[in-house]
Each structure stands twice: as structure tokens, then as C-alpha cells.
Amino acid sequence: MRRFHPPRQSGVALVLVLWVVSLMTLMAGSFALSTQRESALMSHARTRARATALAEGGIHYAMLMLSLPDVTKRWVADGRGYRISLDGTELELRLYDEAGKIDLNSAQELTLRTLFGVVTGDLDQATRLTDLILDWRDPDDLKHLHGAETADYVAAGTGQRPKNRVFYVYEELADVLEMTPELYHRLEPFLTLYSPQDGINPARASREVLLALAGGNENLVDTYLAQRQAGLPASFPALQGLRFHAAVDSAYTVDSRIRFPDGFQYGIRAVIRRDAAMVGGSPFAYLSWKTRVEG
């Protein structure tokens, strides 16, 4: 009796079917993953757009509160925090009067050396940094004892040169010789370009700045702040080498920050100055605008 043998093609067809099914499964998985990623990107974009709008709203709200005719309701720019709710989301706002900082362009030699000594705790380093800043600012090529001019920057291979003019933006400080990223960020709360005074107004300085000036004496600083906020007569102990002045309302830094439950944080730091001309209908003019994103 003759036996029947299935053609070999049926085995090949089965392999092809399995291969096509596997390929389609991979394609479907890839499509699902791509869709998931696009959805996540869209969600993140929406979150960021909302955060941007809310943070900008916080800046404008701060402008309003700084402009209130009633001084008892007007916000005070001394580093204290304010919280507001916009669109069901809480924003944290902090305002700083630039008079409560030291102007990097107006500060004299002794003021700079005193500040750098307070921040670094190293008088030799403070002296070097002071001379480096002075050489950056002055219009000549004459070098201070511990300073640096163009030849010194070339020898150090930094790729930078002293500008021989005042600082236009705070970020230029990072280009000064011996200015490390860590020191640059430590100095940021203490310095401004918009005072413009030699020295500082302790009545408008933040707690962080006052603590440094008081050598970390929290009790002294907190007592002073309590008296200051209560409107009571208060005086901050003098610091040799640092001039205290009473200037106010030169300019303000406004920090507007929002935090979402998933850990995403978005912030805007704007420096504003009162504008009597009210260009664009605003009582303030923008001097600086920075965004900060975390998460």
C-alpha cells in the first residue's frame, strides 16, 4: 500500500506564519511603547506649560503686592516667604530688596575683602579675590598685588579675559580667576548689580545674609528679625569693614516657585525695578529673568 507524505512546503509555511506573528507582536509592542513615550512627553509638556504660567503669575502678583498704597498690606522684600494659591496650586514667593545685598560694582576694596572673608573664612583668599575683582572692574592693565590681568588669564588657560569694566550680569563673576563653581553659588545670596551702594542695608537683608554677617549667631539674628518684622526699633551689630546704609527700593529679586506632587519643580527668579514711566503699562521694568527646573 502506498503511503502519503505531506509536502515539505507545509513545514516551511508554518515557520513563516510563526515568524510573521512574532514580527507583528514586536511591531505592536514597539508601537505601544512609542505611544506611551509620546503620551509621557505630552503630559510633561502640559505640566511645564502650566508651571510656567503659574510661576509668571506669581511674579506679577508680587508686583501688585509691592505696589499697594496701604503700607500695612504691602509686601516686604526682606527675604520672608509668602504663599498664594493660583488655579488650585500653591506657589511660594520670596522677595529680596537688592539694597539688602552688596553691589558687586559699587563695593569698595574694604567692603569686598570683608564680604569674602565672611563667606570663605580665609583672609588670604579674601584678599586675592578682592584684587581679582578690582582688576576685572578697573579700565587699566595695571595689576593689583594679588590680582590678575590678561597675561595671567592666558597663562592659566581659562579662555577668559578680564573685561576692564563693571560687571554687566552676575554670571560674569564665574569667569574671574580662582572663582570656583562652589564659591560662585555661595556668594550669590550676598551680591547684586542693582543697589547701587557701597555696603548693605541690614534692615532689608535676608536671614541667610544676616547669619553670615553675625558669625552664625542664630539667637541674635532671630531676635533682630522678630523686632524688624514687628516694626520695633532694631539695630544690627556693626561689622568692621562693612558699611551699613539705609537705602531701599532700588530693585527687587522675586523668586516664584511651584512644586507638583510628582516631584517636578519649576521656578522663575526675576529682578525688577520700579519704573515711573510705566513702559508697557507695568509699574516695574525687568532687569533679569531666570528659570529653574528640577525633577
CATH number for 58: 3.30.1300.30
**Assigned domain for 9 exists:** no
Which pLDDT score is estimated for 33?
A: 62
Band of residue 43 on the pLDDT scale cut at 50, 70, 90: low
Instruction: Tell whether the model's pLDDT for residue 281 goes beyond 80.
Output: no
Cell numbers for 132:
581679582
Residues 111 and 83 in one domain: no
Instruction: Work out the percent of the chain whose per-residue pLDDT is above 90.
Output: 63
**Assigned domain for 283 exists:** yes
**Assigned domain for 21 exists:** no
Residues 96 and 161 in one domain: no
Give the separation between CA 231 and CA 19, rounded to whole angstroms.
81
Which of the residue ranges 102-111, 229-238, 255-264, 282-291 would you say has the lowest mean pLDDT? 255-264
Residues 87 and 149 in one domain: no
Which pLDDT score is estimated for 49?
A: 86
Which pLDDT score is estimated for 120?
A: 95
Instruction: Tell whether the model's pLDDT for residue 295 goes beyond 60.
Output: no
- What is the mean predicted confidence (pLDDT) over 224-232? 90
Residues 95 and 119 in one domain: no
CATH number for 172: 1.10.40.60
- Residue 258 domain boundaries: 48-100+248-294
Band of residue 29 on the pLDDT scale cut at 50, 70, 90: low
Instruction: Tell whether the model's pLDDT for residue 21 goes beyond 80.
Output: no
**Assigned domain for 224 exists:** no
Residues 136 and 87 in one domain: no
**Assigned domain for 28 exists:** no
Residue ending a domain, among 136, 155, 181, is 181
Residues 121 and 72 in one domain: no
Three-state SS annotation for the chain: CCCCCCCCHHHHHHHHHHHHHHHHHHHHHHHHHHHHHHHHHHHHHHHHHHHHHHHHHHHHHHHHHHCCCCCCCCCCCEEEEEEEEECCEEEEEEEEEHHHCEECCCCCHHHHHHHHHHHHCCHHHHHHHHHHHHHHHCCCCCCCCCCCCHHHHHHHCCCCCCCCCCCCCHHHHHHCCCCCHHHHHHHHHHEECCCCCCCECHHHCCHHHHHHHCCCCHHHHHHHHHHHHCCCCCCCCCECCECECCCCCCCEEEEEEEECCCCCEEEEEEEEEECCCCHHHCCEEEEEEEEEEEC
**Assigned domain for 225 exists:** no
Average per-residue pLDDT for the chain: 87
Q: What is the pLDDT of residues 139-195, one digit of tens each?
A: 999 999 999 999 999 999 988 999 999 999 999 999 999 999 999 999 999 999 999
**Assigned domain for 63 exists:** yes
Could you give the number of structural domains in the chain?
2
Which pLDDT score is estimated for 211?
A: 96
**Assigned domain for 289 exists:** yes
Give the separation between CA 260 and CA 134, rounded to whole angstroms.
44
Residues 177 and 120 in one domain: yes
Residue ending a domain, among 181, 212, 229, is 181
Residue ending a domain, among 162, 181, 200, is 181
Which pLDDT score is estimated for 90?
A: 86
